[in-house]
């Protein structure tokens, strides 16, 4: 549950005199965070200057609440959500791991694009400016520079371009795990058949594939480790930075499918040393379907020659005469032909609206929603995967008898989730609330 400034004022004013447990449970504070072993505000990512802790637990908790109030922007207010995502008030939408709900600004931009098109109002320069703006936003959102980003139709086409552009000397191998969505294993199976590298599949256990199990498969012939930053079904969040280190130590590439993380996760792909990543606007980025992108770090840009090269991936694009073309010196060399301009017009506005909420607040709000959901489900005796703070994501995978039937039935009441591997998958974003989670859990009792 996100503690909003206005609600906090009310909570603090109204609940000081009630019992600790009622107060804390209304605020949904995690008491374990404040154990004696974990006493400093810096452990929660709050400014260290605000560290005048009280002597007892009760005053520490009040202080924590007040610090949250000071540092958490009141941007994710009911008004912000209502204004930007008006349809959310008409349903309980907890299915962002399938597709997110685009903000009104995205819909308006797409309509405007089409209006402009039928009235011949947009020049080639306008379009190029719009795409450059989007690349800047992607860099701001996920790290690196705009030169590290290119626009591709979806995650699968991004992964495919790299899978076919990497060289596979005899004896080489590719490592991935059995939790991957098909978008991140079909291309590698195909590459294995075409060029011969061995495909090494790390076997997961209880929804998780540990770093150590990857390390056991990586050797000096590993060319690629392909990993989703967050797994679509088991919902396990991988420490991709540590995995990047392991594959770099043998000279291979870390290729990451980031579709299930970017948007809610505070991530910097450059700092995490990811070589190549691919994603899509349709889920946590709250954008249109068919607007994908790739991230390519400098070394991968310099060393990989696109196996598929098209007129959008070469320099002097607006010179239509015949001459020997060279790939662009940036990640856009992985673009092939005309992109979905209407889709990217929408995506640009989706990002702008979403990024009004700082990354840290988005992650915190989404994770708090999921933590609250896990807590409520376990109170009801329902079990979900729980990988601990470092490996949990805001997607909750819950073991439920007749999950398909239950999901169909709740969808008739406009409570939207999905089913993966026979389990109910619930995926709240920053814009969801504790009340919506309560509504779902009450229905699952």
Sheet holding 423-426, edge to edge: 396-399, 423-426, 418-420
- Contact pattern for ligand PLP over residues 133 through 162, marking x by CB under 6 A: ---------------------xxx------
Number of chain residues interacting with ligand PLP (CB under 6 A): 13
Q: In whole angstroms, what is the distance from residue 266 CA to residue 47 CA?
A: 17
Least distance (Å) between residue 230 CB and ligand PLP: 7
Q: Which residues contact 389 (CB under 8 A, 6 or more apart)?
A: none
Q: In whole angstroms, what is the distance from residue 198 CA to residue 192 CA?
A: 6
Q: Confirm or reject binding of residue 261 to ligand PLP (CB under 6 A).
A: no
Q: In whole angstroms, what is the distance from residue 62 CA to residue 379 CA?
A: 26
Q: Confirm or reject binding of residue 333 to ligand PLP (CB under 6 A).
A: no
Q: Confirm or reject binding of residue 228 to ligand PLP (CB under 6 A).
A: yes
Q: For ligand PLP, which residue of 2, 65, 259, 419 counts as binding (CB under 6 A)?
A: 259
Which of 76, 227 has the CB closer to ligand PLP? 227
Choose one: 256-264, 360-368, 375-383, 407-415; the region binding ligand PLP (CB under 6 A): 256-264
Phi and psi (nearest 5°) for 382? -100, 140
Burial class (CB in 10 A: 0-12, 13-18, 19+), 298: middle
In eight-state DSSP terms, residue 281 is T
Least distance (Å) between residue 257 CB and ligand PLP: 5
- Contact pattern for ligand PLP over residues 96 through 135, marking x by CB under 6 A: ----------------------------------------
DSSP 136-161: HHHHHHHSS-GGGEEEESSHHHHHHH
Q: Confirm or reject binding of residue 418 to ligand PLP (CB under 6 A).
A: no
Which of 184, 222 has the CB closer to ligand PLP? 184
Q: In whole angstroms, what is the distance from residue 390 CA to residue 294 CA?
A: 25
Nearest one of 440, 392, 395 to 414, comparing CA atoms: 440
Q: Confirm or reject binding of residue 392 to ligand PLP (CB under 6 A).
A: no
Choose one: 176-184, 211-219, 307-315, 332-340; the region binding ligand PLP (CB under 6 A): 176-184
Which of 285, 342 has the CB closer to ligand PLP? 285
Tokens standing for 180?
Answer: 């991957």
Tokens standing for 9?
Answer: 């004022």
Q: Confirm or reject binding of residue 232 to ligand PLP (CB under 6 A).
A: yes
Q: For ligand PLP, which residue of 105, 173, 257, 334 counts as binding (CB under 6 A)?
A: 257
Q: Which residues bind ligand PLP (CB under 6 A)?
A: 154-156, 181, 183-184, 228, 232, 257, 259-260, 280, 292
């Amino acid at each position: 549950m996100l503690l909003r400034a206005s609600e906090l004022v009310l909570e603090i004013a109204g609940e000081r005199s009630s019992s600790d447990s009622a107060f804390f449970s209304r605020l949904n504070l995690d008491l374990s965070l404040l154990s004696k072993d974990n006493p400093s505000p810096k452990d929660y990512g709050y400014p260290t200057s605000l560290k005048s802790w009280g002597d007892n637990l009760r005053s520490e908790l009040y202080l924590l609440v007040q610090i949250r109030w000071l540092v958490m922007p009141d941007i994710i207010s009911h008004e912000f959500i209502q204004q930007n995502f008006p349809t959310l008030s008409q349903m309980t939408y907890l299915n962002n791991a399938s597709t997110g709900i685009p903000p009104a600004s995205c819909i308006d931009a797409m309509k405007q694009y089409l209006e402009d098109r039928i009235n011949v109002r947009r020049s080639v320069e306008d379009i190029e400016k719009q795409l450059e703006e989007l690349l800047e936003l992607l860099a701001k959102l996920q790290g690196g520079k705009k030169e590290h980003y290119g626009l591709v139709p979806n995650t699968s086409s991004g992964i495919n371009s790299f899978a076919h552009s990497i060289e596979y000397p005899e004896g080489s191998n590719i490592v991935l795990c059995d939790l991957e969505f098909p978008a991140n294993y079909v291309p590698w199976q195909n590459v294995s058949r075409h060029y011969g590298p061995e495909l090494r599949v790390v076997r997961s256990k209880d929804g998780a594939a540990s770093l150590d199990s990857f390390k056991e498969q990586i050797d000096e012939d590993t060319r690629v480790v392909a990993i989703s930053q967050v797994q679509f079904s088991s919902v396990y969040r991988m420490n991709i930075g540590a995995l990047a280190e392991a594959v770099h130590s043998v000279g291979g590439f870390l290729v990451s499918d980031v579709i299930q993380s970017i948007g809610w996760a505070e991530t910097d792909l450059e700092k995490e040393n990811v070589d190549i990543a691919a994603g899509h606007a349709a889920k946590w980025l709250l954008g249109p379907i068919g607007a994908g992108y790739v991230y390519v770090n400098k070394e991968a840009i310099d060393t990989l020659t696109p196996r598929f090269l098209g007129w959008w991936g070469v320099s002097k694009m607006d010179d239509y005469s015949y001459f020997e073309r060279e790939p662009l010196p940036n990640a856009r060399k992985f673009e092939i032909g005309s992109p979905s301009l209407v889709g990217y017009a929408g995506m640009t506005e989706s990002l702008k609206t979403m990024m009004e909420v700082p990354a840290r607040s988005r992650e915190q709000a989404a994770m708090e929603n999921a933590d609250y959901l896990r807590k409520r489900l376990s109170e009801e005796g329902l079990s979900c995967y729980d990988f601990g703070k470092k490996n949990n994501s805001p997607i909750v995978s819950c073991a439920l008898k007749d999950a398909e039937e239950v999901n169909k039935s709740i969808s008739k009441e406009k409570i939207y989730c999905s089913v993966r591997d026979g389990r109910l998958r619930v995926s709240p974003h920053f814009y969801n609330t504790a009340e919506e989670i309560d509504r779902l859990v009450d229905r699952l009792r």
